[in-house]
Chain A
């Protein structure tokens, strides 16, 4: 029509749903339009919408089709990459009629677009690689059967315990014989480093702040119950960011490893609480790196720095809390490691094991060899590429880092070459229980040479129903919008999480893991000590992996 300017919509620059990682399947016939799904969606990926619909209807007994235009109410998925459906499925949980469900779209082009404003994609979770890990391919193949009786996991006594702390070589033990009995020779003046006996699976470092108060409390309660009631000495690392003041002064502190990282958050409060501590902590972990984001620092976003967190960390409220990638006051491995370990040891009167945590790396052996010569180093914790985090650049998570299996194996064999395999415990982390096989993955790492393993993501999934997986599901930890209330400081969200239920699940998980570990060790004829480095017990179905790990190949 002359004089009328047509405004044409730019369909060409619109994204189709096919580009999105999750496509919301909504069923018109089931939906009662209650709106709960749209209210609960953490990213507002779905909205109620109104559409015009052309329908052909016929009423009466004789067909008399009439074309009508109706106004209909639907649930629509937003096609804005900033509000992409994360696949968390909270909508499905709240829907009374099973009318809505996100579906993974393997053809998505999410990463192509998730950099608006030049800002790379950041998220929480772990590496998005759903393939079975090396750990999941390891089989336990040395079964004692007819050659000798196997043990009975249900009847025999098993000792599923390990040590953290520097262990003296036998040749250096300050012992003397007195009438056929050995006694500790106190006159020798020999320093006997502190050693803790723990369950070989520990809860890895997750901070108050990264976790919601309810989640942290649930984990802590579970750990205390495991120790005090079940007699399973599970320890938990606090992560960087301090400890609730009441816990610092309680007798339960002995079940916690305090972490110090490059931001030193919370340490002013910890140091000031020292005179009032009635128990020593289980250990001190100095964080130099994290498997999920090697070489990257920590960040707690302003929206998570609420009053409680600010108080614990000793910082103002509502400011971004960045921990630098490195400890800024140090400039060399000798400085960074030796001085820091000694300072922390001294602060606790040399009664607490102090050890560094690094991300999995080809240079781990250099760090290890430095520690092997430092008599105060209590362990080395290595966090592999499948480790999780509350916030990181996607590129760091998906592409940076070293798998834990060969890293631990190399380090263990290095220690064996030096005869120090029992002196410096190796703690392995990163992807343990990724496919749900917690005990099997832990046992595999132990047989490759780890003294203990640490878990993070697994316990969030198992104890608090974290939605996250390796298909990038949810992974909103960095935004403070965790729909399960695990990694948020928003009371509206974390009130969803019952700390008592989390604690109960923590206890169940560890009790089950202990039984499963026995079920692995019993047929292999191992019960008296943890089979650290029992590499003849395991095999893998890949020749190259077998060669690399120096274990046998089976098919």
Chain B
């Protein structure tokens, strides 16, 4: 089972905090990969928030191809960040790890964010296709204020490899996953978190409904719904589809991936809509054990469980800094000063949502279709 460590804060912090949290859960990942995704970047990126950042890995040949392609499209390179690599036994360095900040082509400067997002995604997909056969170009994200690092190896060793402990790299939202490879090949594109147009998610589980979901997404006619080197990538794309494409409020993500039973739907005030959703989005219903942690473009973070709550997951912290982890020890490492009695362990009907700025933890109850306060929860338990 993979291990998850997400932190959202109103202040910048180092990804080392996530890595150290993963380290406390070390027995749960096998070094088959770590993914780090940083959103709301600080440091040298703070002044570049409106410009898209292309994150990836290239070979010597690949970077030439990439530069030529980006030039041809009219993207202008503004800033380049690369991790300082250190030799670590067992980690095989690739030629060039990068986060390159670009300015939009002139023709796109006055276009809407939606059009810009489509351009960025198309560009990322084209680069991916160019380098996929020989791994000369591997790109993880291309979006403003989002940076991604991925590599095969143990998280702590990778942090050393990337010199994260000595780096100024920091952000207000950082997701990290230590991968336990199960049934798919060890591949950088199979490494969580996954990203598409401002949406990201990571998971610790197995999505047994993967193939019908993949077929449904791929047949939506949206070019970004490709890849799927991991069965968990569909969770990110479902999030994008529900929230961005269909414009459903975020809580309906839970209603789509783990729909209520008909008798339960009848108790919800929005039952008419839910009944239609349940039918029309039946192929996006997930199965298997999964705890999903994700963020949306505005910086809202959330955690949901599969319909049987077969995976661990905990959310806790203090106003201004919350962690969403697969295990409590991770939370203890990152925010030891919190009141542990207020930790939330979302069960099968709950969706934990932390608004941008990490001011509070909100728990949305699927049975009721509304956010519940702590007091109400206590009453429910009584």
Give A residues with C-beta under 8 Å from B.
142, 144, 147-149, 151, 156-157, 159, 163, 167-171, 173, 175, 177, 180-184, 192, 195, 197, 416-422, 524-529, 531-537
- A157 near B279 with CB under 8 A, answer no
Contact of A416 with B249 at beta-carbon distance under 8 Å, contacts A526-B209, A526-B287, A531-B209 already known:
no
B227 in contact (CB, < 8 A): no
Contact of A533 with B249 at beta-carbon distance under 8 Å, contacts A167-B280, A183-B273, A184-B272 already known:
no
Most A CB within 10 A of own CB, among B205, B280, B369: B280
In whole angstroms, what is the CA distance A422 to B279 when docked?
Answer: 8
In whole angstroms, what is the CA distance A528 to B309 when docked?
Answer: 12
B112 in contact (CB, < 8 A): no
- B285 near A195 with CB under 8 A, answer no
- B210 near A536 with CB under 8 A, answer yes
In whole angstroms, what is the CA distance A528 to B264 when docked?
Answer: 14
Instruction: Give me 24 A-to-B residue pairs in the complex whose CB atoms sit less than 8 angstroms apart, sorted by A's number.
Output: A144-B208, A147-B182, A148-B182, A149-B310, A151-B308, A156-B308, A163-B279, A170-B277, A173-B280, A175-B276, A175-B277, A181-B249, A182-B249, A192-B276, A418-B219, A421-B283, A422-B283, A527-B287, A528-B258, A528-B287, A529-B285, A533-B212, A533-B215, A537-B211
In whole angstroms, what is the CA distance A195 to B262 when docked?
Answer: 13
Known: A421-B216, A526-B208, A528-B286; 4 extra A-B contacts, CB below 8 A, are: A180-B251, A197-B262, A419-B220, A528-B307
In whole angstroms, what is the CA distance A163 to B283 when docked?
Answer: 12
B125 in contact (CB, < 8 A): no
Q: How far is the CB of B305 from chain A (nearest CB, A)?
A: 12
Q: How far is the CB of B280 from chain A (nearest CB, A)?
A: 5
B246 in contact (CB, < 8 A): yes
Q: How far is the CB of B374 from chain A (nearest CB, A)?
A: 20
- A532 near B283 with CB under 8 A, answer yes
B261 in contact (CB, < 8 A): yes
* Residues on A with beta carbons closer than 8 Å to the beta carbon of B182: 147-148
Chain B residue at minimum C-beta to C-beta distance from A535? B211
Contact of A170 with B280 at beta-carbon distance under 8 Å, contacts A148-B206, A149-B289, A416-B215 already known:
yes
- B interface, over-half SS: loop
Q: How far is the CB of B264 from chain A (nearest CB, A)?
A: 11
In whole angstroms, what is the CA distance A175 to B280 when docked?
Answer: 12
Chain A residue at minimum C-beta to C-beta distance from B180? A147
Q: How far is the CB of A205 from chain B (nearest CB, A)?
A: 25
Give B residues with C-beta under 8 Å from A.
1, 182-183, 205-206, 208-212, 215-216, 219-221, 245-249, 251-252, 258-259, 261-262, 269-270, 272-274, 276-277, 279-283, 285-289, 307-308, 310, 369
- B273 near A525 with CB under 8 A, answer no
In whole angstroms, what is the CA distance A529 to B1 when docked?
Answer: 23
* Residues on A with beta carbons closer than 8 Å to the beta carbon of B307: 527-528
Most A CB within 10 A of own CB, among B212, B221, B310: B212
Chain B residue at minimum C-beta to C-beta distance from A412? B215
Q: How far is the CB of A148 from chain B (nearest CB, A)?
A: 4
Q: How far is the CB of A252 from chain B (nearest CB, A)?
A: 20
In whole angstroms, what is the CA distance A168 to B211 when docked?
Answer: 21
Q: How far is the CB of A508 from chain B (nearest CB, A)?
A: 25
- A421 near B215 with CB under 8 A, answer yes
In whole angstroms, what is the CA distance A319 to B206 when docked?
Answer: 62
* Residues on B with beta carbons closer than 8 Å to the beta carbon of A533: 211-212, 215, 283
Chain B residue at minimum C-beta to C-beta distance from A193? B279
In whole angstroms, what is the CA distance A279 to B215 when docked?
Answer: 37
Chain B residue at minimum C-beta to C-beta distance from A533? B212
* Residues on A with beta carbons closer than 8 Å to the beta carbon of B272: 183-184
Q: How far is the CB of A61 from chain B (nearest CB, A)?
A: 84
Partner of A173, one of B276, B282, B287, B310: B276
- B285 near A528 with CB under 8 A, answer yes
- B219 near A181 with CB under 8 A, answer no
Lowest 4 A-B CB distances belong to which pairs? Answer: A525-B208, A419-B219, A182-B273, A148-B206
In whole angstroms, what is the CA distance A367 to B157 when docked?
Answer: 59
* Residues on A with beta carbons closer than 8 Å to the beta carbon of B310: 148-149
In whole angstroms, what is the CA distance A142 to B287 when docked?
Answer: 14
* Residues on A with beta carbons closer than 8 Å to the beta carbon of B279: 163, 167-168, 195
* Residues on A with beta carbons closer than 8 Å to the beta carbon of B287: 525-529, 531
Contact of A180 with B289 at beta-carbon distance under 8 Å, contacts A167-B280, A195-B279, A529-B282 already known:
no
Q: How far is the CB of A160 from chain B (nearest CB, A)?
A: 12
Partner of B273, one of A151, A184, A527, A534: A184
Chain B residue at minimum C-beta to C-beta distance from A180? B249
In whole angstroms, what is the CA distance A147 to B205 when docked?
Answer: 9
In whole angstroms, what is the CA distance A149 to B282 when docked?
Answer: 23
In whole angstroms, what is the CA distance A175 to B1 when docked?
Answer: 38
Q: How far is the CB of A511 from chain B (nearest CB, A)?
A: 20
- A168 near B276 with CB under 8 A, answer yes
In whole angstroms, what is the CA distance A56 to B154 when docked?
Answer: 97
* Residues on A with beta carbons closer than 8 Å to the beta carbon of B269: 181
* Residues on B with beta carbons closer than 8 Å to the beta carbon of A421: 212, 215-216, 219, 283
Chain B residue at minimum C-beta to C-beta distance from A142? B208
- B280 near A531 with CB under 8 A, answer no
Most A CB within 10 A of own CB, among B248, B261, B269, B279: B279
Q: How far is the CB of A535 from chain B (nearest CB, A)?
A: 6
Q: How far is the CB of A530 from chain B (nearest CB, A)?
A: 8
